[in-house]
Structure 1
């Protein structure tokens, strides 16, 4: 009887190994489920498995919102990279893979990088670089207002003469930012605060947990010149922020454009319109190419981003004409690019 039990146990072990490849693990290849949620570059499947999108930079709120806004509930199939994870050993664990959308057969990893080229991490790929080649052309943002909100912030300046507000925006993930000089002049950083917006697209309030110190002004020129301040925002330890890319070509008259800011204290406000003209402004020491556009702005929008439909910065909003409907001017971004290049700053779109 004892020998029989030992024999049965051995047979059971052999059968378990035969019907459970890799000792109970499951192959990543052709694994199917649907998308339940996302966190940074990690997709949570309905099955409980968490999939890191290989080739995509981690901890990106823009990637997370992109997935949540367009791909929840989508049925997907996984494909492993040949030199990455091949087996799923924990059904609720995290593995790296390519996520293929079953309805369109497109690679979600690729779609993310097309939408946000700065998130591409070639070092993560070994044999599948064909899914993204060369410089990826910009594409329209499916939710431009949210995209701009994630990269823009309110600036509050409090001095003995009083308080004022304006708008600034990030141009790299380490807190490098731009606004107008008349919003943040030289020496004003010690009296100034940046308030980042909440990620919730429906929440336009300002919260103290999003309060950040303006660290220093790195370059500035007053209204006789460029009316621009380039500065850094002090981020929390380990924090990185979504940022804009600066356009490398002048935008065309007639195209759609948008701005985001804090008109008259109405925080986190989006406004859209179109480019009307370009005008070179010459006065005193100022010789600046100005973009004229028709959209709604007010005091508090100063220093804010002006974007095309692809979310690329085409101008920095400077002023609207009082008692004129929708007549606004911004500083063409190509002039600011040349300043940033001269300073050898790292920025989006360089």
Structure 2
């Protein structure tokens, strides 16, 4: 009996070895095991994190008119609370636009607890990103990383002021990269399971080395009180939009004026296309660039200016690199064939 079990075990191990050889060596991305603590990474990043408050007199505020003021405000002053981080040594800070837009006064709280008034330089309300200036000079540049360095399963950190809690830190893992949602136009997100709350919007997303790889923006709440998922804008997109807002060498890109989403298998079959790829146009706004190009609802975009469009995230990425309306060429699948669209001369 024992001999037979031993023989079966040997055969099973041999089969497993053959499967491993057939599938090739396991690909392990460089980086090693995660650290036992994130304290070192946070020590590197915390000096660049900023608490941001969009303040207004309480009689001018909308929403919170309760007698008991929340902990980050008082009975005379109401405030939207958020976070932000420095993107330059001369006091430029990025934050969530909804925190500071229409606020008569913007207050920033620094790492050393200094409280300073900030100036709104501009905002991209579609992307929900704003640029403010704090009157302070920094000794060194912020520690920027790359959003492409974080992969599904990697640890990430968020710093913010949730519910007024000073410089609160949470950790989670990346669930996906290059997420796109129809209502967000040409904007991409890093998905994670970070626990973000009011006061985290605009704060930095960090990797385990303390590098800033994104801006935390919002949480998509799950059904029936489920935890949902959190979304952060890649740092490259944040810096591009900030440069456009502040005129720091950024060139404002055209706005398409169309909504789009991934192509589902059922939609692909209904359109007579054997592949569920491309970006499905689900809205074309009147008098927009999209309307001028001749885009229609139901078109499947498969190429733009030489870029193959595999999904809606690819289309968003191409739109982020778009600079000239006159030179744009968009290829769509419509009514069983391909059409090349461009602005009429």
Q: TM-score, normalised by structure 2?
A: 0.50
Q: TM-score, normalised by structure 1?
A: 0.49
